Amino acid sequence: MGEVVNLRKWVKAREKARRAAEAAANRAAHGRSRAEKAREAQEAAQRARRLDQARRDDAPEA
């Protein structure tokens, strides 16, 4: 025979695991801090400036 399981506890544990997984997904999607967003924007601006500085002016136009 199998192990005796309290159904009420099993259902609660399953629901708790589901909520934890949903919370982890939400943290991954929306969990960046203001500082992380600002740093990422600053890095993107710096990459754009470097690209503009490396552009050649004497390139033939199409």
pLDDT tens readout for residues 32-54: 888 988 998 999 999 999 999 88
Hey, where are the domains in the chain?
A: 7-53
| pLDDT at site 58 | 73
Please provide the average confidence, as pLDDT, over all residues in the chain: 89
Please give the average per-residue pLDDT across 18-25, as a whole number.
96
Cα(36)–Cα(43) distance, integer angstroms = 11
Reduced to 3 states (helix: H, G, I; strand: E, B; else coil), residue 47 is helix
Question: Who wins on pLDDT, 34 or 20?
Answer: 20
